């Protein structure tokens, strides 16, 4: 579970609730079923109109990815690549055939399979760079769907507010009901802004941000594959791959 997402959302709700209570309000009054129905479905449907179907499917398919911990372990991946490098340098590229068939990462498996099959390194690079580009495009498009839905939410909140005011003005003969209608109308505005800046928009940007870890891992694996094909010294290759780790993170060598 990614605590930055959970704590961010819960913290924002708590902060707004505390502020409302200090002003003498009741946060439960902000939960307005009509506003929720007007804002969330319409915002997502409007974003769907502007987004390619592939990315709409990806947006919902990868939503759980936002709430999970970073799935990428660069140190473990570097260690795996160096072990493969040591074997290839000792026994030749063809000796990797059995290990390649058991690899769990499709990107690494594809690249090393091409290497074992005797493809030129330029062909491998060209192929895998295309995979990296498409992966980045896919996650960016999927995340942008939620960003777009978030950008649309305040406008949907405004629509809900206007509809509520129209209904409220029809109750001029009953001040109590008119006041309740006006209060409900402004609730739609609050819900629209909240969903934009705390829920939908941030979730989309988090999806894009997390995809950068996947892209970085793929770039790391590409450099590792190139080094294995060229027969680079494993120690030198490891030193190069360790540069992919974030600044400030300890870099542990397998050779120490």
Six token digits for residue 125? 């690079």
Rg, the chain, Cα only: 26
**SS3 label, residue 223:** helix
Q: Using CA atoms in the order 224, 125, 96, 243, what is the torsion angle rounded to 10 degrees?
A: 0
pLDDT band at 17 (very low <50, low <70, confident <90, very high): confident
Higher-pLDDT residue of 20, 123: 123
- Averaged over 106-131, what is the pLDDT? 94
| pLDDT above 90 for 145 | yes
Report DSSP state, residue 118: T
Mean pLDDT of the chain: 90
Q: Check pLDDT > 90 for residue 92.
A: no
């Amino acid at each position: 579970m990614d605590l930055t997402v959970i704590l961010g959302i819960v913290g924002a709700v708590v902060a707004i609730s505390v502020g409302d209570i200090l002003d003498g309000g009741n946060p439960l009054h902000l939960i307005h079923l009509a506003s929720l129905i007007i804002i969330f479905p319409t915002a997502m449907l409007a974003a769907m109109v502007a987004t390619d179907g592939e990315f709409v499917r990806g947006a919902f398919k990868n939503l759980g990815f936002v709430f999970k911990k970073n799935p990428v372990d660069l140190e473990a991946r570097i260690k795996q690549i160096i072990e493969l490098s040591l074997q290839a340098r000792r026994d030749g590229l063809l000796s990797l055939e059995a290990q390649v068939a058991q690899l769990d990462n499709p990107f690494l498996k594809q690249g090393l399979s091409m290497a074992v099959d005797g493809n030129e390194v330029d062909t491998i690079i060209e192929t895998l760079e295309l995979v990296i580009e498409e992966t980045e495009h896919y996650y960016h498009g999927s995340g942008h769907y939620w960003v777009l839905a978030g950008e649309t939410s305040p406008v949907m909140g405004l629509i809900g507010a206007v509809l509520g005011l129209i209904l409220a003005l029809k109750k001029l003969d009953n001040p109590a009901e008119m006041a309740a209608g006006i209060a409900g109308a402004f609730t739609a505005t609050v819900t629209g802004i909240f969903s934009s800046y705390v829920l939908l928009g941030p979730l989309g940007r988090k999806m894009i941000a997390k995809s950068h870890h996947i892209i970085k891992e793929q770039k790391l694996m590409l450099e590792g594959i190139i080094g294995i094909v060229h027969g680079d010294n494993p120690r030198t290759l490891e030193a190069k791959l360790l540069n992919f780790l974030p600044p400030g993170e300890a870099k542990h060598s397998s050779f120490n």
